[in-house]
Structure 1
């Protein structure tokens, strides 16, 4: 049982993140949660609300320029970097020995890209799925496959194994 706190399960998207731990009864408990400061803002509130314009030489016509990146998407990527920093800090403090990372595919890729080698080495598995709205007590079926066998069958009769 002493290894249970060594497992960290991170469930995130571009706006919310939860760090979960496994209890002795296989229940998942939220250790801490983070929300993006820009989570509920519109793209227009994060940057300019209309594209720029250009003018061609010798013409009076103006042509709108499409923005290169949506400000809200950039904020989501910044939040993914913040989540990765928190995971890296926990790894450096020996706050976990195993990691399961759950996030939508584009956020999962962004978080994983920002993890340092130590955090990546502790990663048991990743799940490319958005489970941020799933309550803690309903996450177990999604992650139990990767939880080490000794922890999956805590308090389970031997006949049920």
Structure 2
């Protein structure tokens, strides 16, 4: 049986933290940070993401003048989806490089949905645990304590 190489991905749509997890016979379950990335555009205000002021339109039904048009999509939402695709691409590259063979995803609920949608079938098949919780602001020590009961029981199956 191949050795388990578990990666835990903790993200909130603007920040991602990757951890390596394993079982050490002498020390029990271990979780160690691998890398962290902050995606600046997803942290900006919506109006800062727009190229310029909204367009204007004529109110044709009552000829009451012109008014600003609202964007069809929320620019912050678009950036968070873009970030999820970026995280998925990083995971594909790490998988091809042999960094892991099992995944645990821990993300804010909407971000977890974005990440699921961005993963290809091969990576989706490696996901053993999903936790819909935003834990990105915890320290490494706090995160390890929080993840231990959430991750390890499910990985033992």
Normalised by the length of structure 1, the TM-score is 0.79
The secondary structure found in structure 2 opposite 1:101 is strand
Aligned length: 148
| Counterpart residue number, 2:55 | 52
What CA distance in whole angstroms lies between the structure 2 residues aligned with 1:8 and 1:68? 36
Unaligned residue ranges in structure 1 (runs of 5+) = 151-161
Deviations 1:82-101 (A, max 9, x none): 01111122222222111100
The secondary structure found in structure 2 opposite 1:139 is helix
Q: CA shift at 1:48, angstroms?
A: 4.4
The secondary structure found in structure 1 opposite 2:98 is coil
The CA RMSD over aligned residues, in Å, is 2.4
| Counterpart residue number, 2:13 | 14
Normalised by the length of structure 2, the TM-score is 0.81
Unaligned residue ranges in structure 2 (runs of 5+) = none
* 1:127 to 2:128 alignment: no
